[in-house]
Chains A and B, each alone.
Chain A
């Protein structure tokens, strides 16, 4: 399996604090990689460096073998990298369907065709499929701000898939989602991973969720990679137990 994403020696410091301290790893085509570690260990900062929200102090990010370090988030998204955020990020005044159309429209045509072309950029059908897939049918026309937290979380994830991304970075998708909805979410993620051959990197604190979803897990502590391996290997690693999982 070839690497979709190669991260080499990424560093990011804020003033005197080094949040990410020389992290290297790669993500293989089609896998679901888990990223765990204590709060403040640099997981989200690493995501932001990879995705162009932050400029890394040092290091290199390669997508399909091409250097993409320093590209803007919108440019990376056009190259097929999508994400969700730790905190909910939907557009509250737009309806569920409009949120999804927005999430896909910039991947259709160009600026001019988006102005003079169809108002839904030809995406209503795709949006409806996504709505059905995430079981949001009865809410399609509601403003996203009126949905429950868990439903917004599903919408948030659904939006990340609208552009047909190859690589999706999910930042705590399970946070604040109730157990029944969580198993739904997991089922959806696995289905998209298999059917669309999308590669995932998932930050999550819910160990059961991570261990059952991911093929490999990377553990970070204090800005560094502490361990990397299969879920069962990582779970037994003494350093990981010490730093994160607890006895």
Chain B
């Protein structure tokens, strides 16, 4: 039965991937932009899910790392560097900064840590806005070029959407690998019981720093794709509200679930579009929907599914026990 469940899952996964490749071919420019944005935000949310959902370290700075990646890519590609090199630099830069931001997490936790990362977020925004020699200040950086891949220009929306989707695929495989490795297990141990983890030889300091650094690096990747996607950046999109948006994507989708960020980003990016007909009310509806969801299921949408599956398993197990018991009674 579980074999069937597995092949069903694989079939469903392949169908979704095929859908993501084929269906957008008919989309207009705006639809493709929204979908590309979804892919980019999913990457950033996956990073935060690693730091927060798996390793249990609260961060309100993920938006700042998207900004760091975006500025790195914008500055480099407008100076003639190819995008893949810029992405690499964005990864290294945000990994290093994320590592340093991890140090406070070794001393403070929970809302204290949230405040430290919030301060960092503000600091990063001020650098983007005030250091105009580097970032163009409030005027930002425009005419960010899009790359050629294998001789194919990605100036048109569809090819660039495939760049975003391909990047999302690579990141997904890497994150899947990471959370199934002993590192993923150590991250979860860090979240559930750091004291016990230490006593089992888990170097909690190193894993905490790694959780921050890797999560931040994924924020950087998202930023490095965001810049050529919009082809113009200024400091405003990377302020605290992006960090809060990303946090909400992770929580609404389901923190600590692999597919949580995909779902959370879909809701955050697409729902406002679908609710557009409500005109000025969509933010209010969105807010109410999020509140209701979190009252119903504090572990997000995938938390509901998880609970349902757990209940079904318990029922199946107790049914098995009942059968075993009645057999025993007949034997007697």
Contact = CB atoms under 8 A, between A and B. Distances in A.
B202 interface: yes
Interface in B203-220: 203-204, 206
B189 A91 contact: yes
Contacts of B189: 91, 94, 102
Interface of B: 178, 180-183, 185-186, 188-189, 192-193, 195-204, 206
Contacts of B185: 94, 98, 101-102, 105
A103 B196 CA distance: 9
Contacts of A116: 181
18 contacts: A73-B199, A74-B201, A77-B200, A89-B195, A90-B196, A91-B189, A91-B192, A91-B193, A92-B192, A94-B185, A94-B192, A102-B182, A102-B189, A102-B197, A103-B200, A114-B181, A116-B181, A119-B180
Interface residues of A, number: 34
Interface stretch (A13-21, A78-86, A184-192): A78-86
A1 interface: no
A94 B187 CA distance: 12
A30 interface: no
A85 B180 CA distance: 27
Contacts of A77: 198-201
Contact of A89 (B186, B193, B202, B204): B193
B196 A115 contact: no
A106 B202 contact: yes
A159 B197 CA distance: 11
A151 to B, nearest CB: 15
Contact of A93 (B188, B197, B201, B202): B188
A77 B203 CA distance: 10
Interface string A104-143: 0111100100111101010000000000000000000000
Contacts of A8: none
A223 to B, nearest CB: 23
A92 B206 CA distance: 23
Listed residue (A72, A93, A106) with the most chain B CB atoms within 10 angstroms of its CB:
A106
Contacts of A82: 199-200
Given A105-B185, A121-B182, 13 more contacts: A53-B195, A74-B201, A91-B188, A91-B189, A93-B192, A94-B188, A101-B182, A103-B200, A106-B200, A111-B206, A114-B183, A119-B180, A163-B200
Contact of B196 (A78, A89, A105): A89
A106 B186 contact: yes
Contacts of A221: none
Given A89-B196, A94-B188, A78 B201 contact: yes
Contacts of A51: 199
Contact of B186 (A72, A93, A102, A117): A102
Nearest to A159: B200
A73 B188 contact: no
Contacts of A101: 182, 185
Contacts of A78: 201
A106 B203 contact: yes
Interface in A14-50: none
A86 B181 CA distance: 30
A46 B283 CA distance: 56
Contacts of B193: 89, 91
Interface in A55-82: 72-74, 77-78, 82
Contact of B201 (A85, A89, A91, A163): A163
Contacts of B180: 119
B255 to A, nearest CB: 12
4 smallest CB-CB distances across A and B, nearest first, come from A106-B201, A77-B201, A89-B196, A114-B182
Contacts of A163: 200-201
Contacts of B202: 74, 102, 106
A51 B201 CA distance: 12
Contact of B199 (A83, A94, A111, A121): A83
Contacts of B203: 74, 106
B198 A72 contact: yes
B150 to A, nearest CB: 28
Nearest to B206: A111
Listed residue (A51, A74, A116) with the most chain B CB atoms within 10 angstroms of its CB:
A74
Contacts of B204: 74
Nearest to B184: A119
Nearest to B178: A115
Given A91-B188, A93-B192, A115 B206 contact: no
Contacts of A94: 185, 188-189, 192
B186 to A, nearest CB: 7
A181 B231 CA distance: 67
B183 A115 contact: yes
A153 to B, nearest CB: 14
Contacts of B192: 91-94
Contacts of A89: 193, 195-196, 199
Contacts of A53: 195, 198-199
A247 B203 CA distance: 47
